[in-house]
Structure 1
Amino acid sequence: MYHGVSEPKAPDLGGRLPVALAVPGGDKAALSAIGWQSVYRTLAEAPGLAVERVFPDKLGLTDGTDPKTRESKSPLSSFPVIAWSITFEEDFLSLPRTLRATGVPPLAAERPTLPLVIAGGPIAFLNPAPIAPFVDCFWVGEAEERFLDFFDTLRTLVFDGAGKDAILDAVKDLPGVYVPGRSKTPVKRIASGGAGPLCDPAFSAFISGQAAFRDTLLLEVNRGCPYGCRFCAAGFIYRPPRHADLDELKRIVDLADPPKVGLIGTALTDWPDLLPFLKWLHGRKKKFSLSSMRADGITEELLVYLRERGIRTVTLALEGASERLRKMMSKKLDPADFLNAVRLCARYGVNHLKIYMIAGWPGETEADYDELAEFLAEIVRIRSEEPGGRKKQFMRITIGVSSLVPKPFTPFQWSPMMDEAALNERMKRLVKMAKPYKGVTLQHDDPFQARLQGLLARGGEELAEFILLAAEQGGWKKALKLWKGDPSDILDRERGEDEPFPWEVVDIGVRREHLWKEWQRAKESKVSPGCSPRGCAHCAGCGVEEA
């Protein structure tokens, strides 16, 4: 665990395999993400590996210079293995730019020899196809024992002098390894531990004042989500949902001894040990913060305690503008529970209420947003009637709206995406809706960027040409004008029931038939049960228990 400006020293090679771990987005973003930090910790503790880090920015550089590792200031081209941790589609651009900047050909076909370029992270088991031409092999899943076995095999092969082709042939059918053009597909996603407790909760390896969450130990409370909202990739690719063990989280906090702990999870209020853990943190004189919470999990006891501990901001997810749309996405949220959460926040003096929403649902109508206008008026009315809401500085409300991006391995993978002009009009109406209310601000994403994300999320290997153009021509907009592909074919049409998808080189464990059934139920705005609290053996049969 590294605090503040403390940094690991350049590792002594001593017969160990040098591995460069690249995390796109620059220092601030990298130090605020815990997925790669768990990977770093796993690899750095392996006796046969010498791991160094590099944080290329959007231009593929580090600190405005050539991409070099933090520990030894070595160029990436000097490493036999360059491992990429990629979370967001927009970070695809950094991959060819960084490789080119360090003198390594971006396309795998142009690299007959080492270095071996490996990619992992959520993208590897959501849709690896768009960057497959740049990558020699993908790790498909979570980091656990088989992940270390994979790297141990690489070490043996590299030290034995095996060529790149021989290495790829040797690993192509290992569990969790996808070598484009060589592996038998689909490759099954690797999940650590299976059903039951989350045995390896992710947590920060670096606690830094340079991170977006300053001086904070980020700590994973749960992975996956039991509710099965049809738009949410995390709820499908991280099945089965798992909660961390209370004693394990306490052990991690005691080990790190941070000034602040940030709890990360998709359904924090579902964790029965949440309040006891918060009280334990307070007893250790640790500040804490929580990510988004479900409105139906906000109890008076919890909120009073959060306010007593100085929590000023509460974030709730409403998602859909109307009850019909929330049923379409199988949100499982009673509007009365949401309004009650707003009431409690106002009553107990929450300074800032953040509400998340998504716009651009297939088949949404003006009537859906008329209903939202009435719901927003009710939220404002409740705020003004509660004692805390009548203060001179009453509770601010920020509504954050994002555009729906139909993601792979969700029921919405068959759905078209709303076009840019329609999304812009929808955002304008939402801004106008919020404008009359004092202390209510509405912020929204850029529909162009959302459509770009959709293109990169849903496309196949043909997108590598587009990504290369963007890397060479200075950005996405210019590349779109030059690219000979057809974004509308990827974004603007409903897919057929049996149409193959480029991401199906991966098997996440959820059956395609289950996703199709949920897509049909979405069209009818029918809610489906989520994951059974009794475990996979008692569920309706998404298929994960058979994986």
Structure 2
Amino acid sequence: MNERQRDTVYFGLERPVVRDFGGRLPVALAVPGEAAMALSALGWQAVWRLLWDNPGLAVERVFCRAGQPPKAEDSGRPLTDFPVIAFSLCYEEEYLPVLAALDGAGLALTAAGRPDFPIVLGGGPLAFLNPAPILPALDLLFVGEAEAGLADVLARLGELALAGADKAACLAAVADMPGVLVPGRTPLPVRRAVAVESAGQTVLTAPAYSCFVSGHAEFRDMFLVEVNRGCPYGCRFCAAGYVYRPPRQAAMARLQALIEDVSPRKVGLVGTALTDWPDLLPFLTWLRERGTKFSLSSVRADGITPELLTVLRAAGLRTLTLALEAPSERLRRAANKQLSMDALLRAVALAGKHGINHLKFYLIVGWPGETEADFEELAPLLAQVAAAGGIGVGKRGVAHATLSVNPLVPKPQTPMQWAPMASEAAIEAAYARVRAAAKGLKGFRVEVETASMARMQGLLARGDARLFPLLTSAVRAGSVRRALKTWDGDMASFLDRERPRDEVFPWDIIDVGVSRDYLWQEWERYRQGVGTAKCPPAGCDACHRCQPA
């Protein structure tokens, strides 16, 4: 890491220098949420660093706090002082805070109502999942990984704006750049921009890492580093396994150099299926030897070994999180969850032997084709889990376990995009069956997500521009839930039907690089209960099965 990179990591109360606007394009980099969330959002921080490295930009942080007029965190300037406002969009629930921020700044909620500056830009995972519900508010959408061209787009906007070009001319000049969607100007679909040097590359050459390490972050005083991006398993319900192809992993030497230069006290490893990273154990051992604390975001049960748990326990790990995913083997196989229950039970037994205090299991209900019979396997399986880990029975086992239950939200850009979502009644019935399966097991607690909130997320995930009036009403009402009471739309049409193969989806304006025919094939394999092999280690050059012909 060079000195400039070192200078863009701030600890505690340290703040970046506020750049003068003179001769620079002012950019408000906004997170639709509180500071604690922003300071733990690795993608947003990576974008901040990427743009900060351009001396022609005056980039400022904006945290969109509820009920407060949005302003720059470090200079106090109002949002309207910035000719470019860039929102990070990670979760569907963030649509409302984006509109509330525009409203709080006195800006029109639609791009059509803002003929002059600012340019309101959106980017992040929702930009290549389904941006349709929020698209009427945006002048520009960046579709893809920021490292693959966002800096070039901002540099071009800065060049033109500083030369006196108006908003329309600026948008026209970038409309055909890679990863850019300017509504009404860019030919559709827009291909997701991917930061790889060749089609089959499997190395994550520029892993993201924290700019801000703060005690006010959700992950307190933790320096976050990206270990991998994407996932090779292709679980049919998981968007990350499809929209982040090809899967890539960071080089251990790159991360070691980063840690050596920054010298953080605590490191958080971020990624999917971290136990798939071949350097995980050596890297954790290296961190422990240099006295650096660490935590892991996710592990697979089949990657849990005595050696790994020894290192984790020595580092103070007390909770281990594992994914059960579905109540029956039939549904796990249909979902392409490539994990045997023997591997799960081995992991639980190892957790008990190594002094893990708390086990957390994720379970999804509301699967297409789910029946009461699928829950008949759950009670015996949970009993096996309890016995394997000695859960709640004494000092030598796991003290307690949490079963975190969530409804399936069929996501765009996955094989589930054709599936209906379970009704509130079906979700509540599934919750009751899970509670019954766990009843009588010592040390077990069941937590569930509110069924109506899950359905609302499903509506926003699968909606189109017809939802925009609902979102604008929600700005006045204070929540989408309240606005739904007076909405004249049909929620069932978005959620409660299986889609025909040839239906045009609102998210078809985005090409993530995975063919529609492949996703349909995976949806049919779900219904047949047939598995699909994971992505090969050699990458896309050895496969091509999911790519358009």
TM-score by length of 2: 0.96
- How far is the alpha carbon of 1:475 from its aligned partner? 1.3
What's 1:428 paired with?
A: 432
2:243 maps to which of 224, 237, 242: 237
What's 1:30 paired with?
A: 38
Q: Which moved more, 1:470-479 or 1:177-186?
A: 470-479
- How far is the alpha carbon of 1:384 from its aligned partner? 2.5
What's 2:4 paired with?
A: none
What's 2:17 paired with?
A: 9
Q: What does 1:502-513 correspond to in 2, within 5 Å?
A: 502-513=506-517
CA–CA separation in structure 2 for the residues paired with 1:147 and 1:119: 11
2:487 maps to which of 483, 486, 501: 483
Structure 2: state its 5+ residue gaps.
1-8
**Partner SS, residue 20 of structure 1:** strand
CA–CA separation in structure 2 for the residues paired with 1:2 and 1:370: 52
Assess, with a 3 A threshold, how the Cα gap between structure 1 residues 394 and 228 changes in structure 2: closer, same or farther. Answer: closer
What's 1:80 paired with?
A: 83
**Partner SS, residue 29 of structure 2:** strand
1:438 maps to which of 427, 442, 445: 442
- How far is the alpha carbon of 1:432 from its aligned partner? 3.3
1:522 maps to which of 506, 522, 526: 526
Quick check: 2:463–2:494 contact (8 Å CA) kept in 1? yes
What's 1:307 paired with?
A: 313
CA–CA separation in structure 1 for the residues paired with 2:305 and 2:396: 26
2:412 maps to which of 408, 430, 450: 408
2:158 maps to which of 144, 155, 160: 155
Q: One-letter code of the match for 2:110?
A: L
What's 1:458 paired with?
A: 462
CA–CA separation in structure 2 for the residues paired with 1:282 and 1:384: 29
Q: One-letter code of the match for 1:288?
A: F
Is the aligned partner of 1:297 residue 2:300? Answer: no
Quick check: 2:359–2:398 contact (8 Å CA) kept in 1? no
- How far is the alpha carbon of 1:383 from its aligned partner? 2.1
Q: What does 1:25-104 correspond to in 2, within 5 Å?
A: 25-57=33-65, 59=66, 61=67, 65-104=68-107
What's 1:381 paired with?
A: 387
1:117 maps to which of 90, 111, 120: 120
Q: One-letter code of the match for 2:15?
A: E
Structure 1: state its 5+ residue gaps.
none
Q: Deviations over 1:118-146 (max 9, x none)?
A: 00000001111110100001010011252
Q: Which moved more, 1:257-266 or 1:428-437?
A: 428-437
**Partner SS, residue 316 of structure 2:** coil
Q: Deviations over 1:371-400 (max 9, x none)?
A: 011100111112229xx9631774311111
Q: One-letter code of the match for 2:319?
A: T
Quick check: 2:390–2:396 contact (8 Å CA) kept in 1? no
Q: What does 1:244-259 correspond to in 2, within 5 Å?
A: 244-259=250-265
Is the aligned partner of 1:371 residue 2:374? Answer: no
What's 2:279 paired with?
A: 273
Assess, with a 3 A threshold, how the Cα gap between structure 1 residues 389 and 251 changes in structure 2: closer, same or farther. Answer: farther
1:539 maps to which of 533, 537, 543: 543
- How far is the alpha carbon of 1:77 from its aligned partner? 0.7
CA–CA separation in structure 2 for the residues paired with 1:345 and 1:230: 28
CA–CA separation in structure 1 for the residues paired with 2:131 and 2:543: 29
Quick check: 1:292–1:317 contact (8 Å CA) kept in 2? no
What's 1:470 paired with?
A: 474
Q: Deviations over 1:7-52 (max 9, x none)?
A: 1132123411100011012011111110000000000111110100
TM-score by length of 1: 0.96
- How far is the alpha carbon of 1:244 from its aligned partner? 0.4
What's 2:5 paired with?
A: none
- How far is the alpha carbon of 1:540 from its aligned partner? 5.7
Number of aligned pairs?
538
Quick check: 1:346–1:389 contact (8 Å CA) kept in 2? no
Q: One-letter code of the match for 2:343?
A: D
2:324 maps to which of 315, 318, 327: 318
Q: One-letter code of the match for 1:480?
A: L
**Partner SS, residue 467 of structure 1:** helix
1:173 maps to which of 171, 176, 181: 176
